[in-house]
A = this chain, B = another copy of it.
Amino acid sequence: MDCVEEFGSAEEIRDWFTECVVVSEYAEAKPLFLLAVFALAKLMNANEDHSQLSAIARRGSGSACRSLYGGFVKWIMGKDEKGTDSLAVQLADEKHWDELVIVIAVVSSQQKETSSTTGMRDTVETSLLLQHRAKEVVPKRILKMEEAIKNHDFASFAQLACTDSNQFHAVCLDTCPPIFYMNDTSHRIISLVEKWNRAAGTPQVAYTFDAGPNAVLIARNRETAALLVQKLLFCFPPKSDADLNSFVLGDKSILKDAGVDSLEAIESLPAPPEIKDPSQRHRGDVSYFICTRPGRGPVVLSDESQFLLNPETGLPK
């Protein structure tokens, strides 16, 4: 905590930290901004409410400002050119829709060719479709999405999430030079989900991709999540030298529901009927899966046994 002691006041700490946040463009560090904003605010006993803290975090990145809350969060654009009134508000907490299960397919852990910050700047400057999207499409979609979340309306939720993800990537492609965040594996995951949803007659799973190739898949309930995991493991089995424990992370109890307790079980999974050519399995194309749920925001832990860092040294336990 040397750096804190060097400053004279909470304002100075805040100014220094905001500076750090703004100058850094290292995309992978962005979630840390939020944690640092939150930790410093707690450390300083700051009186700012969550939305004000989120506006500070926003100066670091959009994902940082959103992550100050758990559950369902809306990021308000704001009107100020410098973005000082761009902040996040919570629509509903994580308990509001607790049936949902999230499966993240980590397609690649390689560094991205285009960071989300420089990518979005290029899109704003060059895409002729972005203005139309921002003005005519997104505002109406956000209202519909708020309504879908409020009513636990999964069909609308999925339709809005998927079409908006695709449209975001469409304006990335309409950028000069074009930005490709999704790759062939992302496309295959979308195709699998789209075909399944159509065959089922009503959406079972929603997908969304941010500035990278990794799929965030939201299943309507735990039963659907188990089916999803089966289909995903069939299409994207691990490399032969992998171990199941590091191929599926997070809430591994879904594996049990999916009837998968070993690597051998993955090999004998049934082919999803949606798949055109079941002999073609894309082994190793997904690095690993994470099974999780809509989470809570950052909290101050009092139980020392839950700390991930050693409180004496500050190093990982």
The answer to the question of A94 belonging to the interface, with a C-beta cut-off of 8 Å to chain B, is: no
Q: How many residues of A contact B (CB 8 A)?
A: 29
B residues near A177, Cβ cutoff 8 Å: 190-191, 194, 198
B residues near A183, Cβ cutoff 8 Å: 184, 187
Taking a contact as CB atoms under 8 Å apart, the answer to whether A167 and B128 are in contact is: yes
Q: How far is the CB of A287 from chain B (nearest CB, A)?
A: 16
Chain B proximity mask over A153-183: 1 for CB below 8 Å, otherwise 0? 0000000001100110111011111101001
Taking a contact as CB atoms under 8 Å apart, the answer to whether B180 and A187 are in contact is: yes
Chain B proximity mask over A181-222: 1 for CB below 8 Å, otherwise 0? 001100100110010001000000000000000000000000
The answer to the question of A137 belonging to the interface, with a C-beta cut-off of 8 Å to chain B, is: yes
Q: Which residue of B lies closest to A187 (CB)?
A: B180
- CA–CA, A37 to B139, complex, Å? 49
- CA–CA, A229 to B314, complex, Å? 55
Q: Which of A167, A170, A198 gathers most chain B CB within 10 Å?
A: A170
Those 3 A-B pairs whose CB atoms lie nearest each other, nearest first: A170-B170, A170-B174, A177-B194
Please list the residues of chain A having a beta carbon within 8 angstroms of any beta carbon in chain B: 113, 128-129, 132-133, 136-137, 162-163, 166-167, 169-171, 173-178, 180, 183-184, 187, 190-191, 194, 198, 276
